[in-house]
Structure 1
């Protein structure tokens, strides 16, 4: 299928990059004023200016902005960026446009880790956020197991990675169901259910200080590998003829993506469809070259999560809708539309 790209020129790409960056900054400044508590825009900016100039004036408004809204927005940027970039990388690594960050058993591993924590008390030594910590450990552990399993009997390839991920995903889901079936803990089951829906309500500066640098550094590294990612779309045979062995790069990219997803799961629970929808939408705009695709996807993913978090806080008065539910309700119809139109390009054999 012929690739459809709206912005073919370099100037168009740069203009889009600048536009999205400005829009993201503007969105943060607007979104921080929106919430269940009405705060005048001038008060919000005065608080931010005072914080930047170290002229701290303690008040209820300051606490809402500094300790609730801003952390959620910054975490939304990190989560959206990480999920979108991981989606791009996963789709290139397994050469499957339907791949998302959770396709290789990561979601089932995270679910098993969280279920073990909530219903069996595993990892309680990690403190109050042990549910997220165990989810992170479960996600990363299953990713490592997928890599090991896919390399048994020969080097891994995209097909072996997919099959290994499916097998381990089924195994983790079975163990999670086993634990839930025999556990008699309604409160624990409610905690798991809410965590699996995804939420940014637990955003704290201490968490952001870990998650945001990891996502940013991983994104920069993956962007620097755009030529290798482009080769992956062409397949191992073509890459070998061009003098590049993709095996070690495939393992490295999966490890880095698993690291990002693990920390995202730790901070926000399970949020789906971002890593599936954003890459397809951005390919429609700038094409399949990862040098352009990764930065635009990172900004688009961040924008999506910022406004999804705002909507999740205000769409139901005096209550908060889990952000994973909101994104799935919007993301699923959008993805069905994309599949029906078949108007995106994937590179290689389109």
Structure 2
């Protein structure tokens, strides 16, 4: 299969290279500023200058006075891993959303359209109800969710293949199979919760399925960071193939892209990325749906640009959503899915009413 194809003239190239670099530079600056602000704000607020000083002390071994140790511990041990997890998950969901929308040629597709999140929920509930994977300790729920997500992806892939078992999964078949199995997984999760002997499992699972970065620790971060970073890089290397795949299988085939093999590889990659993110944060809706559309308005539809800008925009969005979730009704915490829905629904409706905007660009 050819890894590089000529960019078709029908695909809008978007802003110039110089404008694209400026957009990336601005987003990086905004992201860094957002990280500092998000780490400093909370039940115990820390000034940005002190936040930077504590971070520098943690990274470079700078001095911290004895009376500052409690605040330093809050900044470094509690808030920093949480904010960094928001950055990674926001970036990953946005990149996966871009890829899935091109893979299934559906503007309504998001990282969870193929049933991965529902499978992860079944895995997490199984851990809570039956105590499976208890040997994993505090990571049992995340491990169960990851296993459930990969299991769901495997079922969707097998069920969406042709009758002979050798045919490739078409975009429509992938989406319909994913939606059908998602309903089945949700029914299984509801049954498990109903049969659960303790009522606490219900509230825990409900909160987890709506998304939260509350379980973030330094031990959780490395694996999900590696998976998401490697996944985003691999998706970016396939950017030209995604350009032609979005135009249809016939066009892609005529330009030297084996759509069956490409779609299978993309499905595996996006499933692993989504499973890893859902395992540590739950299912956070609308990030992977809305951010790709907003980025295409700014950057055009060329995936080499979209797959650079979308992760940055998604990271910024996730950081601020998480900040709102833990400060709006403090000391209680709102599920992330509540806030992303409150923001995402109006934005999506505005996009639909925006004159001249179509899937893939404006």
- TM-score scaled to structure 2, two decimals? 0.91
Match for residue 207 of structure 2?
A: 194
Q: State the alpha-carbon separation in 2 of the partners of residues 257 and 162 from structure 1.
A: 14
Q: Contact 1:232/1:239 (CA < 8 Å) preserved in 2?
A: yes
Query: How far 1:167 moved relative to its partner?
Result: 2.2
Q: Contact 1:5/1:283 (CA < 8 Å) preserved in 2?
A: no
Q: State the alpha-carbon separation in 2 of the partners of residues 107 and 260 from structure 1.
A: 11
Q: How does 1:7-156 map to 2 (within 5 A)?
A: 8-55=15-62, 57=64, 59-153=69-163, 154-156=167-169
**Compared CA separation, residues 68 and 5, structure 1 to 2 (3 A):** farther
Q: State the alpha-carbon separation in 2 of the partners of residues 41 and 164 from structure 1.
A: 48
Q: State the alpha-carbon separation in 2 of the partners of residues 291 and 218 from structure 1.
A: 14
Report how many aligned residue pairs link the two structures: 347
Uncovered stretches (5+) of structure 2, i.e. residues with no partner: 1-9
Q: State the alpha-carbon separation in 1 of the partners of residues 355 and 196 from structure 2.
A: 45
- CA deviations over 1:311-340 (Å, ceiling 9, x no partner): 112111322212221111111221122123
Match for residue 266 of structure 1?
A: 279
Q: How does 1:206-217 map to 2 (within 5 A)?
A: 206-217=219-230
Q: Contact 1:108/1:169 (CA < 8 Å) preserved in 2?
A: yes
Q: State the alpha-carbon separation in 2 of the partners of residues 312 and 45 from structure 1.
A: 23
Uncovered stretches (5+) of structure 1, i.e. residues with no partner: none
Q: State the alpha-carbon separation in 2 of the partners of residues 342 and 176 from structure 1.
A: 41
Match for residue 205 of structure 1?
A: 218
Query: How far 1:280 moved relative to its partner?
Result: 0.6
Match for residue 166 of structure 1?
A: 179
Q: State the alpha-carbon separation in 1 of the partners of residues 205 and 238 from structure 2.
A: 37
Q: State the alpha-carbon separation in 2 of the partners of residues 105 and 321 from structure 1.
A: 24
Q: State the alpha-carbon separation in 1 of the partners of residues 120 and 108 from structure 2.
A: 20
Q: State the alpha-carbon separation in 1 of the partners of residues 90 and 188 from structure 2.
A: 29
**Compared CA separation, residues 188 and 56, structure 1 to 2 (3 A):** farther
Match for residue 234 of structure 2?
A: 221
1:328 aligns with 2:338: no
Q: State the alpha-carbon separation in 2 of the partners of residues 212 and 32 from structure 1.
A: 19
Q: State the alpha-carbon separation in 2 of the partners of residues 237 and 329 from structure 1.
A: 39
Query: How far 1:6 moved relative to its partner?
Result: 11
- TM-score scaled to structure 1, two decimals? 0.94
**Compared CA separation, residues 50 and 142, structure 1 to 2 (3 A):** same
Q: State the alpha-carbon separation in 2 of the partners of residues 344 and 129 from structure 1.
A: 43
**Compared CA separation, residues 6 and 158, structure 1 to 2 (3 A):** closer
Q: State the alpha-carbon separation in 1 of the partners of residues 251 and 118 from structure 2.
A: 33
Q: State the alpha-carbon separation in 1 of the partners of residues 187 and 60 from structure 2.
A: 54
RMSD: 2.0
Q: State the alpha-carbon separation in 2 of the partners of residues 44 and 337 from structure 1.
A: 37
Query: How far 1:179 moved relative to its partner?
Result: 2.0
